[in-house]
Amino acid sequence: MPVNLPALLPDTLHPVPGVRLGVTEAGIRKANRRDLTVIELAAEARVAGVFTQNRFCAAPVQVCRTHLAQGSARALVINTGVANAGTGDQGMLDARTTCVAAARALNIAPEQVLPFSTGVILEPLPVERLTAGLPGAVAALRADGWFDAAHAIMTTDTVPKGVSRRIRIDERDITITGISKGAGMIRPNMATMLGFLATDAVVSQPLLERLAREAADLSFNSITVDGDTSTNDSFILIATGQAGNAEIADDTSPAWLALREAVIAAAIELAQAIVRDGEGATKFMTIAVKGGRDRAECRAVAYAIGQSPLVKTAFFASDPNLGRILAAIGYAGIADLDVSQLRVWLGDVLVAEHGGRAASYREEDGARIMADAEIGITVDLARGQADATVWTCDFSYDYVKINADYRS
């Protein structure tokens, strides 16, 4: 079960004016499951995207990049079950065929369709099933379809993931709602497996693109389940412009600061939900690294700890074998790190200082902290002012079982 992740309820996801969502059962990989989603956007909508940097990126990712660069997006098509990655020229043709079929159903141009796929890599997309299912998804389009869409984009997720909030800008109510999916193959080198976040605010295209990058960096780019960067990672930020506020185009304005804060907070919540629902997870861990010369080295240390199988299995067992944390710090790639200045805390307990075990540390204190479902690790590198935070989970027996049985 997810680690301290509240159940997502239908009425907690507010409709975003200018967005309609429809889902259907297309039989992409398995029968009798919702696996195809269409998201329709208002003509005024602006869209920005951040995608995987995996060199084996999926066909839909390549098509999305091209279509976003060509102009306005009016629809998103998302299938689960088959990733359409590692599928060569046929995969590209299938992604484009998806766009043509969706465009026909929605009376828009194929270049205005953004396709997304998630699921098994190296298997052909059954595009004929997908296109046959599109009319049903289009017929189901409605403003309050977020909850159903959160279910329809799942793969090994055990629960749907969504977030919604409202803020005030220029005396106008602004809605922000989003969904994400992911539980394994998570160390996004840009974002997450799939994430879609929409607001009805009026915001300029340059600032929207900047916000997509910043939100991804501070949220989806700060999580890891198993250190694997997916071929299909995509994060899309949509601004429909329906709220009627004055266009946000100045990055010093109170409106920009308010929108930025709210969007990043929503993205962090979606990203943390992925970790809390990590395959087989029983612990949610926050790794905060401070005192670095720059953010990059702080992130390198945090990821070294968060991705270490030895650290993750120790946390699953609630075993305070904390030398594994020191070892991970040591191989994080900081050649001139002075370990005699470094300090490490587990929760509020000082574990290491002066190059070794803290004199005040007691094993029973470590065991007490590690028994909790949510655990914090803090590292002070004592070499600068930069900091970074990464969220991760433990490795349990179930992680191996889930991934061993994934294609069956």
The residues assigned a catalytic role are 192
Alpha helices in 222-335 (DSSP H): 254-276, 295-307, 309-316, 323-330
Residue 113 corresponds to which tokens in the numbers above?
């369709």
Helix 323-330 and helix 309-316, axial crossing angle in degrees, nearest 10:
160
**Residues linked to residue 77 through DSSP beta bridges, in sequence order:** 38, 115
Residue 127 corresponds to which tokens in the numbers above?
């595009």
CB 22 within 8 A of CB 37: yes
Residue 181 corresponds to which tokens in the numbers above?
């999916």
* CA neighbor of 384 nearest in space, from 337, 335, 332: 337
* CA neighbor of 299 nearest in space, from 284, 316, 309, 287: 287
Strands of the sheet containing 234-239, edge to edge, are 46-51, 234-239, 194-199, 172-181, 161-169
Judged by DSSP in three states, 261 sits in: helix
